[in-house]
Chains A and B, each alone.
Chain A
């Protein structure tokens, strides 16, 4: 099954979803009566990406890197500061809510927290029926459709009149998936859909997502911080750091030969559940913490923590990192990376 969805995306057609140079700044206001704007958080900075039909794009990064903000910008749940998002060539960003409604049918989202994302006062039936009602799809066969959806996600269709709190975390996440599927979308943004779940439950949800994708030709934007999960499910991966995409490659390539120092550090930090390999492996330890996004470092945003910057580069090279924002381009490593001195490094 998963054999069909590995490797290169089908790039023959135009992308389903395309973001061009999108920027999102959140104002930071003073707490006084006037609430003057005292600064800006640079949450997403000049990001471009494409998502093709039937493809899973993994978006990884650590907390605060802007991946969740980016996913909401793509769905027009937040207003852009600059840039443009298109869905099937049609402008999505900046259009009215009314104009957006028919598009919402095709673009859905599954959230991280299976508790907060389901209104605890609604029954499972009303939760799953909600998108149908909003989209005017409920009609006469709404009840049958909800039952069918429950069955699709592996739940008992008789449980429609129960409340979310009567279900376990994994089951609740399945309810969230059924809700996202209700309007028969083409694209689903999965925002950390399994990170709140226990390991043994997580696998079932991942398998379910894979099956649903095959069955309904879905495109996924899979946002996560867990590299192992992303590697398992994604066809292509984009790595984010402090609001920028620092590296983007087909999954196998990214994990086999990451070329941005951040990606390398990220991969090396993921513990293997294998004692021998884990003890023997090379580790690239990144020092310090993610800088404040309201005052990001000049030039390359990773330079303050970059092991390469600290240990390998000459002072003139370091100056380049400080002065010049590295472009996300292929410097001979086979895929784009935003590092002036990108160099493929075999890791796994």
Chain B
């Protein structure tokens, strides 16, 4: 159809050279070498400059190592052992003390952190993926698509999460594994993220750069993946970090009701709930897992902050 199009005009670079200025091209070349950085490098650079995020990342890596590598190095595991004296306060042998049944609390916290992190990250990923896509599609297409998709979200929001989880978990007999818990929390926890992302996309889609993309003939998928999602990255990451923090708490709540991770396996929530009554008398049972929950939630939030800023090129690289 575009039969008689002339070949693309490749203008002789010499002819297009600006009439004045830029006398010294060698200076240009030097200028680039200091500037030439990939987008990823720039993001990394900006992240590194965010001190709170860097400290949090460091702490978080330690936590992950503690949870996933620690169990292999520590002599006790989280289960009851005859060799462990019951109800001991912290000692060199058992840094966080022992339970009345004869568990090493240090090992339990390691195991609990591991399970809680697994749940939290699965939920975080589910939330970000489902929530962001759902919200973006609803916000981008608006109209009927939006109406149907958001009514589904409303219905999910109305049903109390716990009731639903209890109903589902109750039917799945024979103990709940961590991924089942994560799946259940995740499948119903993405709605907030979807609402937030939809709101952002509703305003983004009216921006001129989206219209510019349409005027170039971009497909919807291209607009969604190259323009809308990256520009909604900030709220998406915030929603993701919130979801992770909430998942840790939701998992704790479920465990308390007996629908979460089942003993003999353990999780941070389970540990805290079991030590609830002992908080005064045997604080070593309560504070280590409790402190771990707070630490995870805090570091995740700071890392999220740092990521959000780093992904935004308008932030200068000189901050903090």
- Chain A in direct contact with chain B (Cβ < 8 angstroms): yes
Interface residues of A (CB under 8 A from B): 72, 75, 77, 90, 97, 100-102, 104-109, 111-113, 116-123, 130-131, 134-135, 137, 145, 148, 151-152, 154, 156, 158, 161-163, 165, 176, 179, 183-184, 215-216
Does B211 lie within 8 Å of A77, measured CB to CB? Answer: yes
B120 to chain A, nearest CB (A): 28
Does B312 lie within 8 Å of A156, measured CB to CB? Answer: no
Docked Cα-Cα span, A130 to B218, in Å, equals: 9
Size category of the B interface is 35 or more
CB-CB under 8 A from A183, the residues of chain B are 216
Contact residue among B17, B208, B218, B222 (Cβ-Cβ distance under 8 Å from A113): B208
Docked Cα-Cα span, A71 to B283, in Å, equals: 71
A–B Cβ pairs within 8 angstroms, 27 of them: A75-B215, A102-B1, A102-B217, A104-B217, A108-B215, A108-B216, A109-B211, A113-B208, A116-B207, A117-B209, A119-B227, A119-B230, A122-B226, A123-B39, A130-B213, A130-B226, A148-B16, A151-B13, A151-B16, A154-B18, A156-B28, A158-B28, A158-B29, A161-B36, A162-B35, A183-B216, A215-B11
Residue B280 is within 8 A (CB to CB) of chain A in the complex? no
Known: A77-B211, A121-B231. A135 touches B35 (CB 8 A): no
Known: A108-B215, A119-B227, A216-B9. A152 touches B16 (CB 8 A): yes
Max chain B Cβ within 10 angstroms of own Cβ: one of A116, A123, A216: A116
Known: A121-B231, A151-B13, A154-B18. A105 touches B215 (CB 8 A): no
Known: A120-B313, A148-B13, A161-B37. A130 touches B8 (CB 8 A): no
Does A148 lie within 8 Å of B216, measured CB to CB? Answer: no
Max chain A Cβ within 10 angstroms of own Cβ: one of B31, B217, B218: B217
CB-CB under 8 A from A72, the residues of chain B are 211
Which residues of chain B from 268 to 320 have a CB within 8 Å of any chain A CB? 311-314
Contact with A along B183-226 (1 / 0, CB 8 A): 00000000000000000000000011101111111110010001
Does A151 lie within 8 Å of B17, measured CB to CB? Answer: yes
CB-CB under 8 A from A101, the residues of chain B are 217
Interface residues of B (CB under 8 A from A): 1-2, 8-11, 13, 16-18, 22, 28-29, 31-32, 35-37, 39, 207-209, 211-219, 222, 226-227, 230-231, 233, 311-314
Contact residue among B36, B217, B311, B313 (Cβ-Cβ distance under 8 Å from A97): B217
Does B217 lie within 8 Å of A152, measured CB to CB? Answer: no
Docked Cα-Cα span, A123 to B36, in Å, equals: 12
A-B contacts besides A121-B312, A158-B35, A179-B212, 10 pairs, CB < 8 Å: A77-B214, A104-B215, A111-B208, A116-B209, A119-B227, A135-B216, A148-B10, A151-B16, A158-B29, A165-B314
Closest to A118 in B: B209
Docked Cα-Cα span, A130 to B209, in Å, equals: 11
Closest to A179 in B: B212
